[in-house]
Amino acid sequence: MSALLHPDLLRDKTIFVSGGGSGINLAIAKACASVGANIAICGRTESRLESAAEELRALGARVVPAVADVRDWDAVQAAFARTAEELGPVSGVVAGAAGNFVAPAEQISTNGFKVVQDIDVLGSFHVAKAAFEQLRETQGSVLFITAGQSVRSMAYQVHVAAAKAGVDALMRGLALEWGPLGIRSNSIAPGPVAGTEGMKRLTEATGDQLWNDMVPLGRFAEAEEVATMATVLLSPLSSYVNGARLTCDGGLEVGGSTEYDRATREAFAAATQQ
């Protein structure tokens, strides 16, 4: 899909992706690399970062894999300093590191609630703040990875809903504060993405079909479909897009009741067949 983008869209730009060692974030890193970008990725697990770096180098990118927990300000700062030194200042930053588990609100401990806020909200803030001087220099942009839970409630996800709503608010605030300095801030809300850790956790109890039924397009996304839109948001194609929360979710956030919609369709079909 990103093969449809111009191969020089991000030529020689530096893109930093937090949580870029796996899943949707790695797909974004790969999509950026495939249009000419050099890539820095951070995460907690060195082996995961190294194997992701190999995939990115195979696409022609120069790569900095930096072990850094986004909750640790000093580690995040060090990762950005190393990135600038080895690849040049960042033109795009993806704040994608996040944590999730499925649990009823009344059973989530203080630390369990806090750990998700710390990774998602504080971690995203750290990543954006550490990038600030470099982004001012390059007139670049920040892309936050949010989720449908921030606007559409879902059982056993209050900690994630609160965290991603915080990420949405952070994005909008930075669009306002940093827009005048030439730095754009946006976010993307993926729907269910096939083969990801996030969906593995959310489908354990439900299976896949229920999710297919909730999405008007009737299927999961491929990670590359989300990654292509993310690449566009990070690129000059989106030079006037600031403060936008783009859904890339097959229509999931439109809402509706799966059972009502199905029953209505079936009843209408039965009535019109007679």
| Residue ranges that bind ligand NAP, judged by CB under 6 A | 18-19, 21-25, 42-45, 48, 69-71, 96-99, 119, 123, 145, 147, 190, 192-193, 196-199
Kindly give the pairing relationship between strand 63-67 and strand 245-248: unpaired
193 binds, among ligand COA, ligand NAP, none (CB under 5 to 8 A by kind): ligand NAP
Q: Sign (positive/negative) of CA torsion 166, 106, 70, 201?
A: negative
Asked if 198 touches ligand COA (CB under 6 A), the answer is yes
CB 2, min distance to ligand NAP, A: 17
166 binds, among ligand COA, ligand NAP, none (CB under 5 to 8 A by kind): none
112 vs 218 by CB, closer to ligand COA:
112
Largest CA distance in the chain: 72
24 vs 90 by CB, closer to ligand NAP:
24
227 binds, among ligand NAP, ligand COA, none (CB under 5 to 8 A by kind): none
Residue whose tokens read 């990801």: 196
35 vs 226 by CB, closer to ligand NAP:
226
> Can you tell me the distance from the alpha carbon of 14 to that of 32, in angstroms, rounded to the nearest whole number?
9
Of residues 97 through 116, those in contact with ligand COA by CB under 6 A are 98-101, 103, 108-109, 111-112, 115-116
Q: Measured between alpha carbons, how far is residue 52 from residues 6, 22, 28, 219 in Å?
A: 23, 7, 12, 27
CB 153, min distance to ligand COA, A: 17
Kindly give the pairing relationship between strand 14-18 and strand 38-43: parallel
Neighbour-count burial of 115, counting CB atoms closer than 10 A to its CB (0-12 exposed, 13-18 middle, 19+ buried):
middle
